[in-house]
């Protein structure tokens, strides 16, 4: 009889602790944030207000509705494959022609993932803009701002998009999507343009940090500079982070910015291959509070250059590089000339 009651007691305790474990697990969630340069995601319709002649049926690229449809399918395939085929919870884009393009992607190819779009038209003459989509079941959208980057030569460039959310852990999250001016004309000659973009971003970030030293900030984008360049490391003051030394962070680390792509750069890796060199120009930068915030914080060493086999070039001169849509004017039918980047955060619901 005693053995019988002992078995019942053990069974009861087993069920109780299993339930407690499941309850604890249900309060935690992994949040994936990503960025992906779409490599000229243009529709095939002429926009008289934009210089989109390169991506029309009559152009040398012979950009048609059929090719546009194939491109949309390809890009959505990459997005869907992220986060164990669940898609990222937030993903920023650049080189998107207009909001309608994103709407088509979300409604036609990603409708089951319940994404919402954040977008604003940029003054860029070519019509290559930044945008963002997020999962409505993971975030409450608060507001959107867009900062104009004023270059010294007054040439219009992309906006810096700022989307603000509340997480399921009741944390406010500020996300900035960037596509800084290119290196056209040479890296040194064009550096001042990216420094001016960095100053614009820094000003907006500092505004949030002045309100709260514990602001949760994520800056994602194609910065057209690397983690070691002046615009990123000096002007923006985005520093490397050693996860083995988090307990040794400086006193005011909450107000510092940390570049999660820095280690990949130092390891010789990159998201974009120019000639024979890898460039780490697609990056994710976070504020210090996201290193230690108990309810919503970075999962250490989770930053990755996402390159599943199907978006990689497997032969020839560009073996190992991203498999793009075009090689010059030659249609290849691939994806993008950039690899996406992504990072994971642990969220604890309150």
Residue 115 lies in a domain: yes
Residue 205 lies in a domain: yes
In the chain, how many domains are there? 1
Give the burial class of 222: count Cβ atoms within 10 A of its Cβ; 0-12 exposed, 13-18 middle, 19 or more buried: buried
CB-CB contact of 55 with 38 (8 Å): no
Question: Looking at residue 17, what is its pLDDT?
Answer: 45
Measured CA to CA, the distance from residue 34 to residue 36 in angstroms comes to 7
CB-CB contact of 78 with 36 (8 Å): yes
CB-CB contact of 102 with 119 (8 Å): yes
Question: Looking at residue 124, what is its pLDDT?
Answer: 87
Question: Looking at residue 10, what is its pLDDT?
Answer: 52
| Distances 37 to 91, 142, 281 between C-alpha atoms, Å | 10, 25, 10
* Burial profile 282-309: b = 16 or more Cβ within 10 angstroms, e = fewer: bbbbbbbbbbebeebbbeeebbbbbbee
| Tokens, residue 173 | 């999250």
Length of the chain: 350
Measured CA to CA, the distance from residue 149 to residue 128 in angstroms comes to 15
Residue 50 lies in a domain: yes
Residue 12 lies in a domain: no
Residue 273 lies in a domain: yes
Greatest CA separation for the chain = 90
Strand partners, 305: 341
> Which residues have CB under 8 Å from 31's CB, separation 6+?
89, 90, 138, 167, 296, 344, 345, 346, 347
CB-CB contact of 347 with 167 (8 Å): yes
pLDDT in tens, the chain (350 residues): 555 555 444 544 454 444 444 334 458 999 999 999 999 999 999 999 899 999 999 999 999 999 999 999 999 999 999 999 999 999 999 999 999 999 999 999 999 999 999 999 999 888 899 999 999 999 999 999 999 999 998 889 999 999 999 999 999 999 999 999 999 889 899 999 999 999 999 999 999 999 999 999 999 999 999 999 999 999 999 999 887 766 667 767 778 999 999 999 999 999 999 988 999 999 999 999 999 899 999 999 999 999 999 999 999 889 999 999 999 999 999 999 999 999 999 999 97
Residue 22 lies in a domain: no
Residue 203 lies in a domain: yes
Question: Closest by alpha carbon to 261, among 231, 226, 236, 291?
Answer: 226
| Distances 315 to 269, 318, 322, 323 between C-alpha atoms, Å | 19, 7, 11, 10
Task: Look up the domain containing 304 and give its range.
Answer: 31-348
Q: What CATH number is associated with residue 126?
A: 3.60.10.10
Residue 290 lies in a domain: yes
Strand partners, 277: 274
């Amino acid at each position: 009889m005693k053995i019988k009651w002992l078995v019942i007691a053990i069974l009861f305790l087993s069920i109780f602790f299993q339930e407690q474990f499941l309850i604890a697990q249900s309060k935690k969630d992994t949040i994936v944030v990503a960025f992906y340069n779409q490599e000229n995601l243009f529709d095939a319709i002429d926009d008289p207000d934009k210089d989109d002649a390169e991506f029309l049926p009559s152009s040398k690229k012979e950009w048609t509705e059929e090719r546009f449809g194939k491109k949309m399918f390809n890009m959505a395939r990459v997005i869907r494959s992220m986060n164990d085929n669940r898609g990222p919870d937030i993903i920023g884009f650049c080189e998107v022609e207009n909001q309608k393009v994103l709407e088509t992607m979300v409604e036609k190819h990603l409708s089951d993932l319940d994404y919402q779009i954040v977008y604003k038209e940029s003054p860029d003459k070519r019509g290559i803009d930044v945008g963002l989509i997020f999962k409505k079941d993971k975030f409450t959208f608060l507001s959107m701002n867009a900062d104009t980057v004023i270059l010294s030569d007054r040439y219009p460039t992309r906006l810096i998009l700022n989307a603000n959310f509340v997480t399921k852990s009741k944390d406010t999250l500020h996300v900035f999507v960037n596509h800084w001016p290119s290196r056209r004309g040479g890296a040194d000659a064009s550096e001042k343009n990216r420094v001016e973009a960095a100053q614009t971003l820094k000003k907006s970030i500092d505004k949030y940090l002045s309100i709260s030293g514990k602001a949760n900030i994520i800056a994602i984008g194609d910065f057209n500079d690397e983690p070691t360049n002046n615009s990123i490391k000096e002007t923006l003051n985005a520093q490397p982070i050693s996860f083995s030394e988090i307990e040794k962070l400086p006193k005011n680390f909450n107000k510092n910015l940390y570049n999660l792509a820095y280690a990949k750069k130092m390891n010789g890796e990159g998201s974009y291959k120019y000639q024979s060199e890898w460039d780490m120009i697609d990056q994710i930068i976070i504020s210090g509070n996201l290193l230690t915030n108990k309810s919503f914080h970075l999962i250490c060493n989770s930053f990755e250059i996402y390159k599943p086999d199907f978006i990689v070039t497997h032969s020839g001169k560009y073996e190992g590089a991203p498999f793009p849509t075009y090689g010059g004017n030659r249609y290849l039918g691939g994806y993008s000339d950039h690899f996406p980047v992504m990072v994971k955060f642990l969220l604890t619901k309150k």
